[in-house]
Structure 1
């Protein structure tokens, strides 16, 4: 079997395709991100996703599949115990997470955590709730500046975020406090996926603006992944968007920061015109961050259409020995209650110009088939302790 020289794995962050059997345990009943968007909007202008087989896999709204899909498609179940970005991506590359990351969306962080943070940082905490980063700075920025307190908040994700005014809360001191928070939140009962420093400037409401000096303190993957194996074998591992943050730089040889999902696709198209051998791993976060959490159905639908337009450009740029895989890391149904991710199956669409034909392949019970198939393609052994098996023979 002829191997692929380059593999592109693109994660449409949160584009789930229906509730998993255990979704009720996660507080999710009847969820379906892609299906419910189509049910609400009727149809979307997504000719490229459609010809790859997305509507054959999951017809919804007024849309159905095509007679001869170009891609191979299936539905994948998440084996890990969770529904967050890090858990989903880590599983793709071979890690099964059994202890989920903790969220504090409903009530903020517990008093014991806040007390320890205040004691060790030497600052009083204000905020301590789930909020939009820009809104909480508008609400509490003046109080922080005037009293020397620090704004701590969370979101629907597993994060602890600390805001600091760069003019009154020295950047290095902000980073020091975040490092303390990272250490404190290593406890199992407080274990968040990321601690984030959120610096801003300005002196009063209406003038506050966040700066580019944000810093993420993510957890390292709990073991070696496909990415480590590829890098150790001398292959290219290119991360686009949040990939470098999600894996804490582990196994990445080159990284590109994206300003938006559209920008991420433009970067991927540019990378496709370069010579490399290995994996280009892409996360497109706007589906999730801008639309899913904000329960904006129309915005989410339009984002899918923007993606599809650039997908057409990428398909034209693919070489004969390239493989493209489209998938997601969890759901975030914009028609559902609350603002949290949703526990869903995810799509798997694969295409190469050298594929003889498209069509359905058998569903799989772990995202880890992606990393295992990439490793198999490059004849690299998966690290000890990883999960997943190769389905490469189905992708020709």
Structure 2
């Protein structure tokens, strides 16, 4: 079988706490279920595909004969961050989680960073919201020139600087130094992130010039395996950053979901026999982390409205998969990611295996998959390339 395989990650879209959620403090989390109940968001197109068949949704009824195969996937790797989730989807199991710093980075790490970039000290060094940190430390940063270094519940080393204090290019150089010299070994965080900001108090982040420096993924991942077999691979959104720029023939960065959807539709008119890996970030970045269920619901509705256009561009031999990378429940009191199952929709369902023999309702229930890596195995299966990823294909 050859054609295009489209993989869309709706960032932060979980469908209920995993069995091990208590180890992460995430009992009772259910991103999609709680958003549906609280906002009554309407998702008619995703509903037709079967998203309401995965778990009960207050505002999305079950579909008697869904157009997609449906199920959910369990994360096996230790962690609940974007890098870990995307890597497992690509076939990588991490036995050790990336380190996190709930009390800030050790003094020797900060000292080494400051010495390396030629400044006396760094400000903050605590887990912090990106908008709050520039509001609270921006004035001192501008007065002193000291960079703002902060983290989150994720495994990230973030550096924020006003563009009038340190140019964006200088900030990138500092973050490259941190990636190569500071965040290594026991302190190898998932991502080093450059966060430039501008303007006057309370300041504005320059979102389109944010830059992520990911840890280097193991070479045995679906992107690099496909490339080695002559299959073109495309990244839309932040995916390329999560794989440290490796494994993609082309990439298109995006500022928001609207741009991501537009770039996807554009790519669908051009690519042949290719793998297209898409991340739609708004649900996580703008709404999950900010505990905004209404915004989350509206973002899902925006994606739902694009489904007919996406499906209309699929050719007979193409496959579309829609899933998530972790949870991020905006109806909880935590701004952190959550350890949740993620949804799985595979279109068209005629391409998939199913668990029940001769299902009377015509549905294709893929059940609970044992690992996110089932996606990587299925992609390899689709393109008929050999792989050694953990997991099982859900394609015929």
Question: For the residues of structure 2 that align with 1:222 and 1:72, how far apart are their CA atoms?
Answer: 30
Deviation of 1:314 (Å): 0.7
Partner of 2:38: 40
Q: Secondary structure of 1:302's match?
A: helix
- Match status 1:390 vs 2:393: yes
- Show CA shifts across 1:128-179 (max 9, x none): 2233334433333332232231111223432111122333335554333323
Q: Secondary structure of 1:136's match?
A: helix
Structure 1 residues 187, 48: CA separation in 2 closer, same or farther (over 3 Å shift)? same
Question: For the residues of structure 2 that align with 1:208 and 1:375, how far apart are their CA atoms?
Answer: 43
Gaps of 5+ in 1: none
Partner of 1:125: 122
Q: Secondary structure of 2:38's match?
A: helix
Question: For the residues of structure 2 that align with 1:360 and 1:22, how far apart are their CA atoms?
Answer: 23
Question: For the residues of structure 2 that align with 1:120 and 1:114, how far apart are their CA atoms?
Answer: 10
Structure 1 residues 297, 246: CA separation in 2 closer, same or farther (over 3 Å shift)? same
Deviation of 1:229 (Å): 1.1
Aligned residues: 385
Gaps of 5+ in 2: 353-361
How much is the aligned-residue C-alpha RMSD, in angstroms?
Answer: 2.1
Question: For the residues of structure 2 that align with 1:339 and 1:327, how far apart are their CA atoms?
Answer: 21
User: Of residues 361, 367, 373 in structure 2, which corresponds to 1:368?
Assistant: 373
Question: For the residues of structure 2 that align with 1:198 and 1:355, how far apart are their CA atoms?
Answer: 43
TM-score if structure 1 supplies the norm length? 0.91
- Show CA shifts across 1:34-56 (max 9, x none): 11112222x32211111111111
Partner of 1:230: 226
Partner of 1:327: 323
Question: For the residues of structure 1 that align with 2:74 and 2:210, how far apart are their CA atoms?
Answer: 34
Partner of 2:355: none
Deviation of 1:317 (Å): 1.9
Structure 1 residues 335, 206: CA separation in 2 closer, same or farther (over 3 Å shift)? closer
- Alpha-carbon contact 1:128-1:153 (below 8 Å) kept: yes
Partner of 2:23: 25
- Match status 1:280 vs 2:289: no
Spell out the pairing of 1:219-368 with structure 2 (5 A cutoff). 219-352=215-348, 358-368=363-373
- Alpha-carbon contact 1:6-1:322 (below 8 Å) kept: yes
Deviation of 1:118 (Å): 2.4
Deviation of 1:262 (Å): 2.0
- Alpha-carbon contact 2:69-2:345 (below 8 Å) kept: yes
Question: For the residues of structure 2 that align with 1:63 and 1:215, how far apart are their CA atoms?
Answer: 37
Partner of 1:56: 53
Deviation of 1:103 (Å): 2.7
- Show CA shifts across 1:254-278 (max 9, x none): 1111111122112111211224212
Partner of 2:70: 73
Question: For the residues of structure 2 that align with 1:307 and 1:331, how far apart are their CA atoms?
Answer: 17
Partner of 2:195: 198
User: Of residues 109, 112, 130 in structure 2, which corresponds to 1:113?
Assistant: 109
Deviation of 1:216 (Å): 2.1
Deviation of 1:205 (Å): 2.8
Q: Secondary structure of 1:392's match?
A: coil
Question: For the residues of structure 2 that align with 1:268 and 1:373, how far apart are their CA atoms?
Answer: 21
Of the structure 1 ranges 43-52 and 112-121, higher mean CA displacement relative to structure 2 is found in 112-121
Question: For the residues of structure 2 that align with 1:316 and 1:85, how far apart are their CA atoms?
Answer: 29
Structure 1 residues 350, 117: CA separation in 2 closer, same or farther (over 3 Å shift)? same
